[in-house]
Amino acid sequence: MLGFARIPLAASATRAILCRHDGEQAMSDTKTGKMLVISGPSGSGKTTICKKLREDPRVKFSVSATTRAPRTGEVDGRDYFFVSKERFRELASQGAFIEHAEVFGNMYGTLREPMEDALRRGEVYLLEIDVQGALQLKALGVAGVYVFIAPPDFEELRRRLVGRGTDAPEVVERRLKKAEDEYRERVKYDHVVVNADLERAVAEVRALVGLAAK
Ligand code: ADP
Ligand code: 5GP
């Protein structure tokens, strides 16, 4: 829980920055940054793609708060802010999250303040969030590039989830079931990128936010 103290408490709800009032106008009023939302079913390759995107110094990764326990190798404040359920609820009630959702029994939330700061600085602010969270942001009118990462097919998705080795067989089945529902939501996104060849998928995403030359 080292990141506990570093989570900004004040929720400066400068909605004008984050919400579209008239087309893309709000985006250009106060900042030049771009929000890139990477979302899609579990196992589609979001984390792998985001790891590559984060190699670019122009990209700032949104570190979410979560109530789930850290996995081996995960660093508090870099991968997530690992917090208790009580602390998460407190942050939510203070309006610290621009969106939050329960995913497979744990809570996850995107912190509002670092996002606003990054956009003001003109950075590409990268969010890796689940489908519910992405659609919440979109429904709020939060300006950004919304990308759905799709697996080539469901058999390959199963292979990847099994191959990742982080989930018990019944959890893999639960993730696959949910993936079918989530897949139907892809039409609500700005772009769908099929993650068959990893390098190609990463290049496609980079191009969508003008990072192609790097
Ligand atoms: P997510 O973050 O969407 O749950 P991961 O990034 O953890 O998915 O990827 C799931 C598994 O699939 C990992 O073991 C990862 O190494 C593998 N993987 C990701 N992209 C590809 C790809 N293009 N080809 C083959 N395996 C991939
Ligand atoms: P994991 O526990 O495997 O790191 O993440 C589980 C799921 O939660 C993934 O789909 C991931 O994208 C999503 N997630 C991570 N952070 C957030 C967040 O802040 N908000 C939402 N809605 N989902 C998140």
Q: Map out the domains of the chain as residue ranges.
A: 26-208
- Read off the pLDDT of each residue in 75-103 and give the average, rounded to a whole number: 96
Neighbouring CB atoms inside 10 A of 95's CB total 12
Q: Decide if 126 contacts 56 (C-beta within 8 A).
A: no
Helices (H), the chain: 15-18, 25-30, 46-53, 85-93, 112-120, 131-140, 154-164, 169-184, 198-208
CATH class of 26-208: alpha beta
- Any ligand 2 atom below 6 A from CB of 129: yes
The pTM score is 0.88
The order of strands in the sheet holding 124-128 is: 59-61, 124-128, 34-39, 145-150, 191-194
CA of 211 from ligand 2 middle (Å) equals 24
Residue 42 CA: nearest ligand 1 atom is: 4
Mean pLDDT for the stretch of residues 139-144: 91
Q: What percent of the chain stands above pLDDT 90?
A: 75
Q: Find where tokens 């079931």 sit.
A: 177
Residue 97 sits at φ, ψ, to 5 deg, of: -100, 140
For residue 99, how far is its CA from the centre of ligand 2 (angstroms)?
A: 11
In whole angstroms, give the CA distance from residue 109 to residue 65: 5
Residue 89 has a CB neighbour count (10 Å cut-off) of 13
* Strand-pair partners of 192: 148
171: its two tokens: 């959890």
pLDDT at 8 over 80: no
CA of 103 to the centre of ligand 2 (A): 7
**Is the CB of 137 within 6 Å of ligand 2?**
no
Q: What is the pLDDT of residue 31?
A: 55
